[in-house]
Homo-oligomer: A and B are copies of this chain.
Amino acid sequence: MRNILLKIIILRFNFEIMFRNYTCGELRLSNLNQEVILAGWVQSSRNLGGMTFIDLRDRYGITQIVFNMEDDENLCLAARKLGREFVIQVKGTVLERSSKNLNRPTGEIEIKAKELNLLNASETPPFTIEDESDGGDELRMKYRYLDIRRNPVKEKLLFRHQVSLETRKYLSDLHFTEIETPYLIKSTPEGARDFVVPSRMNQGQFYALPQSPQTFKQILMVAGMDRYFQIVRCFRDEDLRADRQPEFTQIDCEMAFVNREDILSTFEGLMKHLFKTILKIDLPDFQRMSYDDAMHHYGSDKPDLRFDMKIQYLNSAMQNKGFVVFDSAELVAGIVCKAAAEKYTNKDINDLTEWVKRPQMGAKGLVYIKYNLDGTIKSSIGKFFSDEALQQLAIEYGIEKGDMFLILAGDKDKTIKQCGELRLEMAKRLDIISKDVFSAFWVVDFPLLEWDDDAQRFFAMHHPFTSPLPQDLEKLKSNDREILKSIRAAAYDMVINGAEVGGGSIRIHDRALQSQNFKLLGFSEKEAEEQFGFLLGAFEYGAPPHGGIAFGLDRVCAIMQGSTSIRDYIAFPKNNQGRDTMIDSPSTLDQKQMTELGIKIS
């Protein structure tokens, strides 16, 4: 037996042979009686005494191979020796299967083997190569090459390729030019932390890896390139939360001589193109919603509009009725959960109360009012509000029998955000989000500035190159913090199913306005010049009006497929400690490298 394997193993070192003339995904009844050569991995094998069946797998599918003791005993015995994930080549004839597997595109045929060649053996894999694997996250990351063999991971990588390709087609057809910008650039303290690269030729100096090609794409507009895009890696040295990667890919775009409408319609078009060509879904035209409206109605700048459940404002209805929690609050607000009164138990309410009190949410408590189907009312504030008062509330807010009102109170901004979180959570708990619906729209008119209490200064909400809305330009001259807070930016986000898939803005293209904006953000003139002098300089040589947008490629992929995690769209992601456990990186350098670079570990 061993001899047979040894004899055929020699094929490994012969690369003049033709390894296959079909893939494991393409043979059909129309190929009946053809002589074919397939190659792939042994997915499974079944030994039924006289016959041995092997499921042979490659990227394209699975084909059943059959070996018969009567026809060729040696071959059949050799086949029985093959373990899972062995790499083999099979020559044989396409036959019709007697028991067809119609769940599989190749399930009507099988290959009767005439020749079997072992291309490589395999150790027993540490987890099963099946759609549902028994491997934990850590194990699958360490053996990522086995994980990628699994359909769910493989399909995501193929999907991502399609999204990239269709993005490039759409934009290129609109005369966008893909231009590569450098990866070895310059560190700027503003924004997130940079990854840096010591320069050997300029000792003591460092490059930085780009957090985005923002300044370069603006420079390209000044350079007259007009319509730029790039599918480009970006880097951020942040403490990693779940679903954040130190390196990630952006669809980065910029246009000159355009107004906001030009940009929104161009990239609404991109998203429609992706959904249409890849998913065969026609997205309707995108609505526009102001940031203020989004916050007011949904408590979020990226609301999930697959369900309604708007925030209800209750100050006038519920304050000054003797309930101190409400009376002392800046805001009393809540959401109405349709038809939830009867199915939501006391235990559910208690769970939810704990949930809103978690530090991440920070609510002090939760008030509920159940409007039961039989007309009775049950609430946690019966002591302060009569049934009549609560019935009156129902009329005022259009609440029906069977509905449940959930109410929070406290500081205005916080309570609105808490209501937004609660809204999302209840939609999940009540399972009212339809999986096949896509809600895509634009949030516009973001605030230009965000006040940071710790740093006692303003930060740019989008980035320091974002233009204010023309009608708010005058406010820039104010010293009043509230007036400055109210300045709106020509910034916009594309939101799909409650996720921000892309965002951008019209940029400042005027040197004086850019300088003024830097000043507002606490840059000294010297700092602005050191960090962005080249851009300010470029603005002096005929900078056109311009604006742009960037999409998170992995996020777009995940949203399109209704997936909650971006990690599997990345072939080789890093873990939460920023490590690649497969290649065991980062790692130490040898002393020679450190010396050449002129750096030491401190």
Are A224 and B585 within 8 A (Cβ)? no
Contact in complex: B186, A123 (CB < 8 Å): no
Interface assignment of A596: CB less than 8 Å from any CB of chain B? yes
Interface 9-residue window, one of A144-152, A266-274, A420-428: A144-152
| Cβ-defined partner of A588 (8 Å) among B154, B200, B205, B470 | B205
- Please tell me if the beta carbons of B589 and A196 are within 8 angstroms of each other in the complex: yes
Instruction: Provide the residues of chain B in CB contact with A222, threshold 8 Å.
Output: 145
In the assembled complex, how far is the CB of residue A23 from the closest CB belonging to chain B, in whole angstroms? 8
Within residues 158 to 185 of chain A, which ones have a CB less than 8 A from any CB in chain B?
158, 160-161, 164-165, 168, 172, 177-185
State whether the Cβ of A506 lies closer than 8 Å to any Cβ in chain B.
Answer: yes
A371 at the interface (CB under 8 A from B): no
> Does the CB pair B584–A534 fall under 8 Å?
yes
Q: Which of A40-82 contact B (CB under 8 A)?
A: 41, 57-60
The answer for the CA separation of A197 and B196 in the assembled complex, in Å, is 6
Chain B residues near A510 (CB-CB < 8 A): 12-13, 120
Q: Would B259 and A199 count as touching, CB distance under 8 A? A: no
List the B residue with the shortest CB-CB distance to A490.
B15
Contact of A220 among B122, B571, B577, B596 (CB under 8 A): B571
Selected from B12, B199, B602, the residue in CB contact (under 8 A) with A578 is B199
Shortest CB-to-CB span from A82 to chain B, Å, is 11
Shortest CB-to-CB span from A150 to chain B, Å, is 9
Q: Which residues of B contact A261 (CB under 8 A)?
A: 16
Q: Which residues of B contact A587 (CB under 8 A)?
A: 186-187, 205-206
Q: How far is the CA of A172 from the CA of B589 in the complex (A)?
A: 38
Question: Do A249 and B180 contact each other (CB < 8 Å), given the known contacts A14-B470, A197-B197?
Answer: yes
Residues 119-151 of A contacting B (Cβ, < 8 Å): 119-123, 125, 143-149
A572 is an interface residue with CB less than 8 A from chain B: yes
Closest B residue to A248 by CB, please name it: B180
- Whether B545 contacts A15 by the Cβ 8 Å rule is yes
Q: How far is the CA of A398 from the CA of B247 in the complex (A)?
A: 63
Known: A178-B161, A183-B235, A239-B201. A58 touches B224 (CB 8 A): yes
A574 to B165, CA, bound (A): 29
What sequence of 0s and 1s flags, for each residue 104-124 of chain A, a beta carbon within 8 Å of any chain B beta carbon?
000000000000000111110
Distance (Å) between the CB of A3 and the closest chain B CB? 19
A interface size (C-beta, 8 A): 137
Which residue of the partner chain, among B181, B246, B586, contacts A205 with CB atoms under 8 Å? B586
A542 contacts B86, C-beta separation under 8 Å: yes
Are B259 and A534 interface neighbours, CB within 8 A?
Answer: no
Asked if A588 contacts B120 (CB within 8 A), the reply is no
What residues of chain B lie closer than 8 Å to A258, measured between beta carbons? Answer: 15, 19
Q: Say how far A149's CB is from chain B's closest CB, in angstroms.
A: 5
B residues less than 8 Å from A540 (CB atoms): 122-123
Report which of B181, B216, B570, B588 forms a contact with A206, defined as CB distance below 8 A: B588
Q: Please indicate the chain B residues that have their CB under 8 angstroms from the CB of A595 in the complex.
A: 602
A352 within 8 Å of B by Cβ? Answer: no
**Separation of A203 and B119 alpha carbons in the complex (Å):** 43
User: Cβ of A572 and Cβ of B182 under 8 Å apart?
Assistant: yes
| Alpha-carbon distance between A85 and B539 when the two chains are bound, in angstroms | 12
CB of A544 within 8 Å of the partner chain:
yes
Question: CA of A207 to CA of B237 in the docked complex: distance in angstroms?
Answer: 12
Q: Which residues of A, 450-503, contact B by the 8 Å Cβ criterion?
A: 467, 470, 473, 490
Residue of B nearest to A511 (CB): B120
Which single residue of chain B is at the shortest CB-CB distance from A602?
Answer: B600
Set B177, B182, B247, B490: member contacting A157, Cβ < 8 A: B177
B-side contacts of A223, CB under 8 Å: 144-149
Whether B15 pairs with A202 at a CB distance below 8 angstroms is: no
Q: In the assembled complex, how far is the CB of residue A515 from the closest CB belonging to chain B, in whole angstroms?
A: 15
Knowing A509-B120, A598-B602, A599-B601, say if A184 contacts B541 (CB, 8 Å).
no
From B216, B224, B574, B577, contact of A59 by CB (8 A):
B224
Are A585 and B59 touching (Cβ within 8 A)? no
A404 to B123, CA, bound (A): 66
Known contacts A20-B257, A177-B157, A145 near B12 by CB under 8 Å: no
A15: nearest chain-B partner, CB-CB: B259
Q: Using A122-B541, A187-B589, A600-B602 as known contacts, list a sample of 4 further A-B pairs with CB atoms less than 8 Å apart, ordered by residue number in A.
A: A19-B258, A181-B572, A202-B577, A599-B602
The 10 closest A-B pairs by CB, nearest first: A122-B542, A148-B223, A186-B585, A205-B586, A19-B257, A85-B542, A199-B586, A145-B223, A600-B602, A59-B226
